[in-house]
């Protein structure tokens, strides 16, 4: 059983002070330890809800204050800051919050952020590796960065060094060791492919290599690759430009004899020996009948005999060698045209380019009439304006023109004609002229 001792004091009269022991008429608090309503026979501590807090002066007592939900209102005078908003994760971000700080020595200091609201962090102390300054070669293997850098490094076996690029930002790579399968695949025909450049060592004389060594290709000072054809070709030979001085050395030439290679032969004057005993000279098999062109005779001797055989006098006698004259043909000659009443309307002899061999006209009129010939298509001729290529006068009641000629008159555009009273006019004759022409 618990006892409560109460101290009494009275105002205004002298009263002896004493302690009064009161034994509560309640039992030891019992009840459920779980949440819910208060258990029977338990001592409760309460609070008073007010929409606004009381206004007290020093020495006054007041009941504890609660909000409308029964939460005890607490003013953290020491060990905490004012303000702040409680918000659930996943809920909309609140409009207000609690300023946070950190310890600097024995003091509380505020944390700062940049213009993008990112928290400013100084990793100079308390971070692995320290500040961001490893942007150079020769970084020790134990060095680390507190910040993430955009430097790409390669390990050389001892330290880390930056990778390098050329002026076009291509990564410089040395494939001297550890590289394989580079270049273009065999048989590739796609345009624009790249492969490794094959280089050679330039020396004034041929180098001397030892067995088992890897050596560069050998070039002379003109950049020509030195090649030794060990199989499939003969040694020696000299390349020489035409019109240059004849070289002191050259390549021996050979020819096939059956299945073997044999050398070609020359005479004492360095002329190539040629045997024309087989089939002779093409088209001149009769030369083989000459004793001077027998087996083993040189081509020069055969040609001399040919000259002797062909240049012979005509045998004496009265026989004719032959008759030479034109032969009659049924096609391929000139074409003929007839105009029975040629007047001052241009007509076509030939609508395209051609040659004029013959022109003859009969004039039935009592005065001279003219036949104008044009190197213009008939439809484009304007009499009196278009200049004629030819103008042939035909006497009164007579025929005139020119007869067949071996060398015709050429017209590059067309061949057209008309008859007028003057050589370049447009007046029609009294009666049309009867005209014939041959052309091609």
CATH number at residue 380: 2.60.120
Residue 3 located in a structural domain: no
What's the DSSP call for residue 291?
Answer: G
Q: Which two tokens stand for residue 52?
A: 């606004």
**Antiparallel, parallel or unpaired: β 354-363 and 409-411:** antiparallel
Range of the domain at 408: 335-439
Q: What is the pLDDT of residues 322-379, one digit of tens each?
A: 666 666 667 778 899 999 999 999 999 999 999 999 999 999 999 999 999 999 999 9
- Is pLDDT above 70 for 14? no
Residue 384 located in a structural domain: yes
Q: What is the pLDDT of residues 369-396, one digit of tens each?
A: 999 999 999 999 999 999 999 999 999 9
Residue 427 located in a structural domain: yes
Q: Which two tokens stand for residue 381?
A: 């001729």
| Model pLDDT, residue 286 | 44
* Stronger pLDDT, 296 or 273, i.e. the higher one: 273
Paired residues of 358 in beta bridges: 438
Could you give the number of structural domains in the chain?
1
Distance CA 141, CA 158 (A): 7
Residue 346 located in a structural domain: yes
Residue 116 located in a structural domain: no
Residue 120 located in a structural domain: no
| Model pLDDT, residue 170 | 87
Residue 434 located in a structural domain: yes
* Stronger pLDDT, 309 or 61, i.e. the higher one: 61
Residue with tokens 């005779």: 297
Angstrom distances, CA of residue 218 to CA of 197, 213, 287: 15, 14, 56
User: CA angle, 12 as apex, 11 and 18 as ends, to 5°?
Assistant: 50
Residue with tokens 């060094």: 161
pTM to 2 decimal places:
0.31
**Antiparallel, parallel or unpaired: β 217-219 and 200-202:** parallel
Please count the other Cβ atoms lying within 10 Å of the Cβ belonging to residue 408: 16
- Is pLDDT above 60 for 166? yes
Residue 177 located in a structural domain: no
- Is pLDDT above 90 for 428? yes
* Stronger pLDDT, 145 or 222, i.e. the higher one: 222
Distance CA 306, CA 300 (A): 10
Distance CA 191, CA 198 (A): 19
């Amino acid at each position: 059983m618990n006892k409560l001792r109460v101290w009494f004091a009275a105002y205004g009269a002298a009263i002896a002070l004493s302690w009064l022991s009161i034994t509560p008429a309640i039992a030891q608090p019992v009840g459920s330890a779980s949440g819910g309503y208060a258990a029977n026979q338990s001592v409760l501590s309460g609070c008073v809800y007010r929409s606004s807090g009381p206004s007290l002066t020093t020495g006054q007592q007041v009941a504890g204050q609660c909000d409308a939900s029964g939460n005890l209102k607490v003013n953290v005078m020491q060990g905490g800051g004012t303000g702040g908003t409680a918000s659930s994760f996943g809920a909309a971000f609140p409009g207000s919050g609690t300023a946070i700080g950190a310890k600097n020595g024995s003091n509380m200091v505020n944390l700062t952020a940049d213009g993008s609201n990112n928290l400013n962090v100084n990793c100079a102390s308390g971070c692995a590796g320290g500040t961001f300054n490893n942007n150079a070669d020769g970084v020790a293997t134990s060095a680390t960065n507190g910040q993430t850098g955009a430097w790409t490094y390669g390990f050389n076996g001892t330290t880390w060094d930056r990778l390098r690029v050329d002026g076009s930002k291509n990564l410089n790579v040395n494939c001297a060791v550890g590289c394989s399968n580079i270049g273009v695949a065999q048989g590739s025909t796609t345009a624009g492919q790249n492969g490794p450049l094959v280089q050679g060592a330039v020396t004034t004389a041929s180098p001397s290599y030892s067995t088992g060594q890897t050596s560069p290709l050998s070039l002379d000072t003109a950049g020509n690759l030195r090649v030794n054809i060990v199989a499939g070709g003969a040694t020696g030979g000299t390349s020489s430009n035409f019109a240059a001085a004849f070289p002191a050395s050259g390549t021996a030439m050979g020819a096939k004899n059956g299945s073997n290679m044999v050398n070609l032969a020359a005479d004492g004057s360095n002329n190539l020996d040629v045997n024309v005993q087989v089939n002779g000279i093409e088209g001149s098999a009769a030369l083989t009948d000459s004793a001077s062109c027998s087996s083993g005779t040189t081509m020069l001797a055969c040609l001399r005999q040919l000259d002797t055989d062909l240049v012979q006098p005509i045998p004496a006698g009265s026989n004719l060698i032959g008759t030479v004259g034109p032969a009659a043909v049924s096609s391929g000659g000139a074409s003929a045209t007839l105009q029975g009443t040629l007047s001052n309307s241009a007509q076509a002899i030939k609508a395209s380019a051609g040659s004029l061999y013959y022109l003859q006209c009969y004039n039935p009129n009592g005065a001279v009439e003219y036949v104008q010939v044009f190197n213009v298509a008939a439809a484009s001729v304007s009499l009196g304006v278009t200049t004629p290529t030819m103008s042939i006068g035909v006497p009164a009641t007579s025929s005139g023109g020119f007869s067949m000629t071996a060398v015709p008159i050429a017209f590059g555009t067309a061949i057209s004609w008309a008859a007028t009273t003057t050589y370049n006019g447009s007046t029609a004759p009294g009666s049309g002229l009867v005209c014939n022409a041959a052309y091609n």
